């Protein structure tokens, strides 16, 4: 299966525990060892790293606003019952 995310891509938890979730960056696409792709991610705020499954994350979408500056927008919600790291 082809990975959905690439190294360097910004992601968010698919089901955040807080109202203002941390943004993470993909640091490694791990070899496929189970039925689902896994990634090593790093929190931009703390530098903490963990491994997550593909259904646990969603892309950070950048959309321009009326002033020409980029705004971050959460991607679509994924159906998942997995626990965030």
pLDDT tens digits for 14-71?
988 888 888 999 999 998 877 889 999 999 999 999 999 999 999 997 666 655 555 4
Confidence (pLDDT) at 85:
55
- Give the chain's domain count: 1
pTM, entire model: 0.70
More confident residue, 82 or 21: 21
Where in the sequence is the domain holding 43, given as residue range(s)? Answer: 10-74
**Rounded distance between C-alpha atoms, residue 64 and residue 43, angstroms:** 24
Confidence (pLDDT) at 84:
47
**Rounded distance between C-alpha atoms, residue 32 and residue 30, angstroms:** 6
In a domain, 80, yes or no: no
Confidence (pLDDT) at 82:
35
In a domain, 83, yes or no: no
Confidence (pLDDT) at 78:
34
Model confidence at 4: pLDDT above 90: yes
Q: What is the DSSP string of the chain?
A: ---SS-TT-EEEESS-SSSSPPPEEEEEEPPP-SSS-EEEEEETTT--EEEEEGGGEEEEEEEE-TTS-EEEEE-PPPP--PPP-
What six digits make up the tokens of 57? 């994350």
Confidence (pLDDT) at 2:
87
In a domain, 29, yes or no: yes
In a domain, 5, yes or no: no
What phi and psi, each to the nearest 5 degrees, are found at residue 55? -75, -5
In a domain, 82, yes or no: no
């Amino acid at each position: 299966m082809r990975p959905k995310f690439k190294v360097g891509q910004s992601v968010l938890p698919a089901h955040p525990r807080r109202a203002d979730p941390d943004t993470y960056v993909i640091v490694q696409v791990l070899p496929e060892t189970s039925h689902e792709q896994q990634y090593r991610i790093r929190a931009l705020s703390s530098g903490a790293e963990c491994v997550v499954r593909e259904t646990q994350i969603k892309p950070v979408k950048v959309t321009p606003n009326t002033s020409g500056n980029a705004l971050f927008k959460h991607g679509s919600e994924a159906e998942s019952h997995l626990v965030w790291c």
